[in-house]
């Protein structure tokens, strides 16, 4: 029995490419913590891959599952790690900025205001694969966009906004205009109501991003922000909509991409799409910039065949890397047309039960 065997078995079971180093990283996370969601977070591997690796270790007697679903290395497990020179994951994340590289104490004021204003925000629902980021994240994102020169005096397009980034942007006083296109009526209404009450230059409209971008928004914006569902098809559609909304060269797009729902193979394919087809440059990929607040529907929506998975998360484990892309000169608009696509389901996605397939 070796690491290579486990990698192959997990690859077969999940249909997600799984390397020896992937298995090592999950084990390295497991050497650091016994909590499933923290291992997912530490190893940055697709959810099902982590689950199957833990199960493979359990079935080989390398870990035991405690009563609370804790995953505990057995003496055999400890020996296995030591024999394979696998060490506990190190953590050097900056405590001030939570690893984002962006933070100033002055931003606390905006954070507090945002919390006060959005205290009655709509809860995340499964229908649209929702889940929103922490206040710290949303304010850091505003600061990032501002620092890169993409916010002050600019027009911002927000494609999907359960994060309420538009409200944070409005409260910052920096952008000239913010337009939110959002499928969820509750959010459209909520954002418009807040914008009205607070006199923010923000408006929201109902929009399904499989439809073409409303003509009045084509080529109007300096910056777009979105958090695409992570199938390649959905990424394609999201980038097409965002880029169609931009004025042209020098404009920028911001979005998150996870390692939890997307393997690096998918990252590579997506990056090919960005640099070849869309002809943009990727200027930033900031690891774990976006931290999501745990959402209520998680445990009901995922597999229930492994006890160690069905435990309540003890941390904001779901995170994504922040991408910034910039449009180059010679940018050609893509055709603005409806694009039907599967948004949420592929082998690597989180929302996965065997009967979903």
Under the rule (CB under 8 A), what is the footprint of its own copies? Answer: 17, 19-22, 24-25, 28, 85-87, 89-97, 99-104, 107, 143-144, 146-147, 149, 152-153, 176, 249-251, 264-265, 267-268, 271-272, 275-276, 279-287, 321, 326, 328-329
Using an 8 Å Cβ cutoff, are 23 and 53 in contact?
yes
Task: Give the nearer residue to its own copies in terms of CB position, either 75 or 95.
Answer: 95
Q: Residue 216 or residue 329: which is nearer to its own copies going by CB?
A: 329
Q: Residue 113 or 212: which CB sits closer to its own copies?
A: 113
Q: Which residues contact 352 (CB under 8 A, 6 or more apart)?
A: 47, 48, 302, 303, 345
Token pair of 78 as six digits: 């400890």
- Is the Cβ of residue 29 or residue 160 nearer to its own copies in the bound state? 29
Shortest separation between residue 352's beta carbon and its own copies, angstroms: 21
Which one, of 335, 122, 147, lies nearest residue 241 by Cα?
Answer: 335
Minimum CB–partner distance for residue 270 and its own copies (Å): 9
- Find the shortest distance in angstroms from Cβ 1 to its own copies: 19
| Tokens 């996370």, residue located | 29
Q: Based on CB atoms, which residue is closest to its own copies, 190 or 323? A: 323
- Neighbouring-strand partners of residue 54: none
Q: Phi and psi (nearest 5°) for 41?
A: -65, -45
Smallest distance from the beta carbon of 297 to its own copies, in angstroms? Answer: 29
**Cα(23)–Cα(55) distance, integer angstroms:** 12
CA distances from 318 to 21, 324, 349 (A): 21, 20, 13
Token output for 64: 């035991």
Q: How far apart are CB 43 and its own copies at their closest, in Å?
A: 9
């Amino acid at each position: 029995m070796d690491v290579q065997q486990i990698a192959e078995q997990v690859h077969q079971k999940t249909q997600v490419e799984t390397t020896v180093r992937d298995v090592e990283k999950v084990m390295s996370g497991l050497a650091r913590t016994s909590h499933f969601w923290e291992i997912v977070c530490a190893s940055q591997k697709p959810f099902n891959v982590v689950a199957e690796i833990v199960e493979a270790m359990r079935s080989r007697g390398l870990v035991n599952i405690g009563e609370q679903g804790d995953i505990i290395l057995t003496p055999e497990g400890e020996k296995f790690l030591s024999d394979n020179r696998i060490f506990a994951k190190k953590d050097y994340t900056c405590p001030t900025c939570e690893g984002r590289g962006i933070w100033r104490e002055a931003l606390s004021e905006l954070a507090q205001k945002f919390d006060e204003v959005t205290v009655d925000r709509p809860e995340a629902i499964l229908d649209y694969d929702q889940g929103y980021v922490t206040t710290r994240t949303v304010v850091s994102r505003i600061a990032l966009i501002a620092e890169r020169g993409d916010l002050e005096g600019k027009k911002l397009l927000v494609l999907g906004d359960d994060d309420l980034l538009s409200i944070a942007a409005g409260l910052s006083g920096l952008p000239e205009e913010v337009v939110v296109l959002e499928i969820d009526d509750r959010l459209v209404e909520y954002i418009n109501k807040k914008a009205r009450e607070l006199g923010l230059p923000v408006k929201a409209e109902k929009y399904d991003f499989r439809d073409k971008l409303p003509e009045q928004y084509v080529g109007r914006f300096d910056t777009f922000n979105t958090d695409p569902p992570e199938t390649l098809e959905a990424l394609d559609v999201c980038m097409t909509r965002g880029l169609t909304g931009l004025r042209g060269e020098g404009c920028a797009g911001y979005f998150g991409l996870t390692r939890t729902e997307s393997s690096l193979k998918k990252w590579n394919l997506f990056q090919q799409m960005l640099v070849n087809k869309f002809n943009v440059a990727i200027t930033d990929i900031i690891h774990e910039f976006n931290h999501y607040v745990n959402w209520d529907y998680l445990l009901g929506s995922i597999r229930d065949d492994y006890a160690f998975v069905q435990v309540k998360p003890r941390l904001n484990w779901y995170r994504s890397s922040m991408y910034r892309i910039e449009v180059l000169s010679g940018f050609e608009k893509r055709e603005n047309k409806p694009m039907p696509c599967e948004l949420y389901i592929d082998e690597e996605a989180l929302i996965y039960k065997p009967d979903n397939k």
